[in-house]
Amino acid sequence: MEQLLQSLKIGINEKIYVKDPQSSALGKRIVEESILMINDMGFESFTFRKLGVHIGSNESSIYRYFENKHKLLLYLTSWYWGWLEYQLVFSTNSIADPKEKLQKAIEIVTRATKEDSAFSHVNEVLLNKIVINEYSKSYLTKEVDSENKEGYFVIYKRLVARISKMVEMVDGDYKFPSSLASTILEGSLHQHFLIDHFTSLTDCHEHLAPTEYFTDLVFNSLKTDSNG
Amino acid sequence: MEQLLQSLKIGINEKIYVKDPQSSALGKRIVEESILMINDMGFESFTFRKLGVHIGSNESSIYRYFENKHKLLLYLTSWYWGWLEYQLVFSTNSIADPKEKLQKAIEIVTRATKEDSAFSHVNEVLLNKIVINEYSKSYLTKEVDSENKEGYFVIYKRLVARISKMVEMVDGDYKFPSSLASTILEGSLHQHFLIDHFTSLTDCHEHLAPTEYFTDLVFNSLKTDSNG
DNA sequence: AATATTCGATAGTAATGCTATTATATTTGC
DNA sequence: GCAAATATAATAGCATTACTATCGAATATT
């Protein structure tokens, strides 16, 4: 696993960046430190000027990598979904039984990221928190449609499509495989947010994870050989 | 219904505004026109200066009603949830059968707002769109916890609690009533967003509304007299 | 008629979100 | 080992944003 991950490069739409941040030390620092800063101060307060000061570099240098902070957020979240997709494919690949496969998929995408895999400059634990707190801001904009056309959300869409297909493999008659898949992904982020800030709005907590909730939700919705 | 609605005043936490916008003509115009503008240009591009120009009033006058545009968003969304709560209570009040009651509740909170009830200066159709596109920005901030303590989200929380209780009335053994309730509310906003911008991520559309999806999801999760 | 209250107008400030230019490193290709 | 290409740093500048403060005029209240 480690070796595989060492050589993993997540393919991100080239239009998202001006210059590939993976291509230089400064680019990597921008990604690395922006994750820490956005996590600490939130996306709204985060600016390229502050990032420049933080990494001892210049604001204008950062603009050579990303047009603006919105694009940086698109980059970071794309990276996260690509990373998650990789884990999903890797972990479910060898599972033949559709139910078991879907169960594993739910587990992968709904669990909290607990360990930084240390194979890159990206801190996945913090990035997971950024995705929970900031992802929806990347698409809740007036530019969604044009950015969608440009392919800025392909990785996320592919991930939903993969889960949707797994749902179909379990129950070909189910009417809402895509809605269910998007509910799992987006709903999981939401439940994790609720655990942190609105405990009264969720039943999930440390010992009853979102994974249990979504597993229950999904397998009660699908007719399987054993229960239908 | 009309008469009841005429006299309806949605009780919004006084800390959200500096001066009650319902208390003056200017206040009402601020609310009224901000809904149109946020809908047109999105919350990010919307500013008090632009609103001032739009309503032929002064920026500083708007600040006498709301500290900043974030508070205005909190006000608008609170108003929306209060309005929805009213409809929920009104429509489910007389229903005795728990399943039927829950079914009705799902219908109320997941449907798209299609008509402006015309009893106030608030355009509910546009406000519904604002909630779909902007609501999560009101809580995905670094200030959530303190604002939650101040009671800025009470209406929304009460709405989730109401639905959660209805779920419990249908199946007292179900382990995730609050998570399910929050999934219905938040997931519904998300499905409506997907219908508008990411059709491949949802199975819902004009003739298969989110209501059908969530009804299916909920009643498959709950053990009821008839199916369990 | 006196007095609050409200509102409009103007001004000002620090920060944001950039862009442009120039100078200095650093890498690389020969 | 040197020149050319490229990358980065430093500085400046600009329009806009998100306010705050002050003052006077209009309006409502008693």
| 3-class SS of residue A49 | helix
A188: its two tokens:
């999981």
For position B119, what pLDDT does the model report?
Answer: 65
Please report whether residue B228 resides in a domain. Answer: no
Among chain B residues, CA nearest to A134: B140
Listed residue (B84, B93, B104) closest to B156, CA to CA: B84
Please report whether residue A228 resides in a domain. Answer: no
Chain B residues inside the 8 Å CB shell of A141: 42, 44
Contact assessment for residue A32 and residue A75, using Cβ atoms and an 8 Å cutoff:
no
**pLDDT single digits (tens) B15-40:** 999 999 988 888 899 999 999 999 99
- State the DSSP string of A76-104: HHHHHHHHHHHHHHHHHTT--SHHHHHHH
Question: Is the model's pLDDT at A224 over the cut of 90?
Answer: no
A50 contact to strand C (CB, 7 A limit): yes
A70 contact to strand C (CB, 7 A limit): yes
Distance from CA of residue B109 to its chain's centroid?
8
Tell me how many domains chain A contains: 1
A68 contact to strand C (CB, 7 A limit): yes
Question: How near does any CA of chain B get to the CA of A109, in Å?
Answer: 16
Distance CA A124, CA A117 (A): 7
Question: Is the model's pLDDT at A227 over the cut of 80?
Answer: no
For position A26, what pLDDT does the model report?
Answer: 84
Distance CA B179, CA A200 (A): 9
A44 vs B141: CB contact, 8 Å cut-off?
Answer: yes
Among chain A residues, CA nearest to B219: A221
B202 vs A186: CB contact, 8 Å cut-off?
Answer: no
Chain A residues inside the 8 Å CB shell of B161: 200
How many secondary structure helices (H) and strands (E) does chain B include?
11, 0
Please report whether residue B125 resides in a domain. Answer: yes
Q: Rounded to the nearest 10 degrees, what angle do helices B124-139 and B177-197 cross at? A: 120
Please report whether residue A175 resides in a domain. Answer: yes
A45 contact to strand C (CB, 7 A limit): yes
Question: Is the model's pLDDT at B200 over the cut of 60?
Answer: yes
| Range in A136-145, A198-207, B56-65 the model is least confident about | B56-65
Residue A154 contacts B, CB cutoff 8 Å: no
B176: its two tokens:
């995730």
Nearest to A178 among B142, B175, B200 (CB): B200
Question: How near does any CA of chain B get to the CA of A4, in Å?
Answer: 30
Question: Is the model's pLDDT at A1 over the cut of 60?
Answer: no
Long-range contacts of A118-126 (CB under 8 A, 24+ apart): A119/A2, A119/A5, A119/A6, A119/A8, A121/A28, A121/A29, A121/A31, A121/A32, A122/A31, A122/A32, A122/A35, A122/A79, A122/A83, A123/A32, A123/A35, A123/A36, A124/A80, A124/A83, A126/A35, A126/A36, A126/A39
Task: Using pLDDT thresholds of 50, 70 and 90, give the confidence band for residue B118.
Answer: low
For position A25, what pLDDT does the model report?
Answer: 85
Among chain B residues, CA nearest to A193: B140
| Range in A22-31, B4-13, B79-88 the model is least confident about | B4-13
Please report whether residue A226 resides in a domain. Answer: no
Please report whether residue A54 resides in a domain. Answer: yes
Question: Is the model's pLDDT at A98 over the cut of 60?
Answer: yes
- Closest-lying nucleotide for B58 based on CA to C1': C8
For range A73-79, the mean pLDDT: 94
**pLDDT single digits (tens) A167-221:** 999 999 999 999 999 999 999 999 999 999 999 999 999 899 999 999 999 999 9
Task: Using pLDDT thresholds of 50, 70 and 90, give the confidence band for residue B226.
Answer: low
DSSP state of B141: S
Question: Is the model's pLDDT at A16 over the cut of 70?
Answer: yes
Among chain B residues, CA nearest to A215: B221
Residue A199 contacts B, CB cutoff 8 Å: no
Which range marks the domain in which residue B164 is found? Answer: 2-221
CA of B212 to C1' of D28 (A): 54
Percent of chain A scoring above 70 in pLDDT: 93
Question: Is the model's pLDDT at A5 over the cut of 60?
Answer: no
Rounded mean pLDDT of chain A? Answer: 90
The strand ranges marked E within chain A are: none
Distance CA A200, CA B82 (A): 18
Q: Which CATH number covers residue B130?
A: 1.10.357.10
Residue matched to tokens 């004009």:
B206
CA B134 to each of CA B13, B43, B48, B156: distance values in angstroms, whole numbers, following the listed order = 20, 7, 17, 15
Distance CA B57, CA B25 (A): 12
Listed residue (A109, A175, A209, A226) closest to B217, CA to CA: A175
For position A2, what pLDDT does the model report?
Answer: 46
B127 vs A120, more confident: B127
Question: Is the model's pLDDT at A4 over the cut of 50?
Answer: no
| Range in A65-74, B5-14, B109-118, B218-227 the model is least confident about | B5-14
Distance CA A33, CA A39 (A): 10
Question: Is the model's pLDDT at B212 over the cut of 50?
Answer: yes
Please report whether residue A65 resides in a domain. Answer: yes
Residue matched to tokens 């009309």:
B2
Whole-model pTM: value is 0.92
Question: Is the model's pLDDT at B5 over the cut of 90?
Answer: no
Residue matched to tokens 């709904």:
A110
B183 vs A190: CB contact, 8 Å cut-off?
Answer: yes
Question: How near does any CA of chain B get to the CA of A18, in Å?
Answer: 23
For position A206, what pLDDT does the model report?
Answer: 87
